[in-house]
Chains A and B, each alone.
Chain A
Amino acid sequence: MALTTAPDPTRRGTGSVRPDATRRGTGRIRHGEGLAGYVFLSPWLIGLMGITAIPMLLSLYLSFTNYDILTPFSEVQWVGLANYERMFTSDPSWWHSVRVTLSFALIAVPLKLAAALGVALLLNRAWRGVGLFRGLFYLPSLLGGSVALAIVWVNMFNRDGAFNSFLALFGIEGKPWVNDPDWALETLMVLAIWQFGAPMVIFLAGLKQVPTELYEAASVDGAGKFRQFVNVTLPMLSPVIFFNLVLETINGFQGFTAAFVLSNGTGGPVDSTLMYTLNLYITGFTDLEMGYASAMAWVFLIAIAIITAIFFSTGRFWVHYSDGEDR
């Protein structure tokens, strides 16, 4: 739902996210078109029901039970709020996974976006070769989510890895960073930041939309490069920053693959990479506590909904829409 109020950041002024014809007035539904509409929509509708809605309701129900995959449905016991109570009051590893996930998102996402914006500013000039750089910087975003790259990453920050050989050039003795509870999560943050290319491409598209006259006007008024950045670039880019921030934060909360690979599916060392989704996976599919895992999933869903709502409600104070739309 949330996105209905977000303009497509790279297409200023082409209208809000909405099916086309609603802008043309509702009009009469042509004979037979209503039926055709549902015929074309039917795969999606079946998917919405069978793959999304029913599983969501099932998981809500299961979250109040002690269901594990081994007992038959008929013997499932209703436990009321016990799963939720356990999560909040007597499950330190749940709280720990919340802390790990929050610190991952709070540190990695802003740094990734800062890197993306910085590089986009460097590239935002018409000159030959910009396309080449843009492509090269985008490459990690395509590869970075894979198991293969996570494997490479873990080895790179291991004792004999490339990072320690780099440190050795400066006479610094490294350590097996991925086995150190104080540093394991940080190596995953670096992996996330390394994938700055996707938000960078979106920033670049946004920068192209900033009218040159604004810089000229600011320059005539005596504003230096820094003031131009603060007073022209940042406000004009704020819808794109907002868009990237929402998307990257939600993605950041869902980090799974790299944490799984680093810890071989345990969340270690000493739970330091126990991302929320990894904890959910372990609870549901290793410990088979599917009722409890369902409760964890629902809390996750509600948390993400609340965070998105906070973004959108605070966004109106700092996101500037130059065409006045949606405000």
Chain B
Amino acid sequence: MVATTVAPPVATRPQRPRSRSWLRLIVLLAIVAVVLYPLIWMIGTSFKSQEEIVNNIGLLPERFTPGNYTNGWGNFDVSFGRFFFNSAMVSLLTVVGNAVSCLLAAYAFARLRFRLRGMWFAVMIGTLLLPGHVLIVPQYILFRSLGLVGGDWPYLPLLIPQFLATEAFFVFLMVQFMRGIPRELDEAARIDGANAFGIFRHVILPLSRPALVTTAIFSFIWTWNDFFRQLVFLSSLSDYTVPVALTLFIDSTSQSAVGPMFAMSVLSLLPVFVFFVAFQRMLVEGINTSGIKG
């Protein structure tokens, strides 16, 4: 499956001598080692006993110690199960928000004609490069004055922007995608009596599934990994998401926390890893079509 995705652009060129291609393979394997070493070391350390973490410099534990996982899970007053639940909820709702709101905006930009469209599109592109850190202080003040920070359900400041298509990357990605949908389909639907809403419902929405899936995957992974906004907006322990909870381990500087901290770090990366294995090709193609970052 993987090999077929690569078009052979240089197949007509004469093959290099065998020794050169062996050399290349060795260099590539060395890079694989550098890339994977931290990940394997992380997993290995998460199964080491406290004593081994200090004394055993090897990659893997001599004695397999799964206790770090149970210790880490219950290390704080609130269990990690709660943090995982919070993270999953925020990430999944973000996926829904981004998919719906960005699709609506993208349809308007890609297919509908209305006054000032060119200007709004330019503004949307402008927000692509706008650093999120610049807006965090006033957004915090506004959400706080609305009583939404630390309120009954403290995730609103994290989720409201996602339901308002503020993630311009996804709007842009979907506009690019919709430009590839033949306009003849719109025309055919229009002749059958469909208006802009009908065309959206019966032509664009079903055909946009690949773009929606790409958006869903990236928005899940980004939100799952996001730290800055969650750090700013979540203030009480039981509301914490996994990344914010992980930083609590750093506060407790005692060496004994290293094993549990690594165990919980491994667990926190597991969903991303599963996504990577399941959708590897799509993720790589996804950053190709839009240049978005993983």
Contacts and interface: CB of A to CB of B under 8 A. Distances in A.
Interface of A: 1-4, 8-11, 17-22, 26-27, 29-30, 32-38, 40-41, 43-48, 50-52, 54-56, 58-59, 62, 69, 73, 119, 122-143, 145-149, 151-153, 155-156, 160, 162, 165, 168, 194, 197-198, 201-202, 205, 207-208, 210, 212, 215-216, 243, 247, 250-251, 253-254, 256-257, 260-261, 264-265, 277, 280-281, 284-285, 290, 293-294, 297-298, 300-301, 304, 308
A162 B127 contact: no
Contact of B196 (A36, A124, A198, A298): A36
Contacts of A50: 142, 164
A56 B138 contact: yes
Contact residues of B: prevailing secondary structure: helix
Interface stretch (B73-81, B88-96, B109-117, B206-214): B109-117
Contacts of B59: 162
Contact of A3 (B13, B128, B134, B195): B128
Nearest to A34: B114
B134 A301 contact: yes
Interface in B254-294: 258, 261-262, 264-266, 268-269, 272-273, 275-276, 280-281, 283-284, 287-291, 293-294
A109 to B, nearest CB: 13
B6 A126 contact: yes
Nearest to A53: B123
A160 B127 contact: no
Interface string B24-62: 100110011011111101100100000001100101000
Interface in B95-128: 100-102, 104-105, 107-115, 117-118, 120-128
B122 A308 contact: no
Contacts of B265: 147-149, 151-152
B57 A168 contact: yes
Contact of B118 (A19, A257, A300): A19
Contact of B41 (A21, A52, A130, A156): A156
Nearest to A155: B258
B17 interface: no
A50 B291 CA distance: 27
A211 B101 CA distance: 39
Contacts of A30: 113
Contact of A37 (B112, B124, B125, B289): B112
A206 B27 CA distance: 22
Given A133-B28, A138-B283, A152-B265, A29 B129 contact: no
Contacts of A3: 125, 128-129
Contacts of B139: 51, 55
B294 A40 contact: no
Given A55-B142, A122-B27, A136-B36, A201 B288 contact: yes
20 contacts: A1-B122, A29-B114, A30-B113, A43-B164, A55-B139, A124-B9, A141-B293, A142-B221, A147-B268, A148-B265, A149-B42, A152-B41, A153-B38, A160-B53, A160-B57, A264-B247, A284-B137, A285-B140, A293-B137, A304-B129
A40 B112 contact: yes
B293 A198 contact: yes
Contacts of A145: 225
Interface residues of B, number: 126
A11 B176 CA distance: 11
A194 B37 CA distance: 11
B291 A256 contact: no
Given A51-B160, A52-B135, A135 B280 contact: yes
A119 B9 CA distance: 17
Contacts of A149: 38, 42, 265, 269
B227 interface: yes
A261 B250 contact: yes
B130 interface: yes
B113 A126 contact: no
Given A27-B113, A37-B113, A148-B265, A142 B165 contact: no
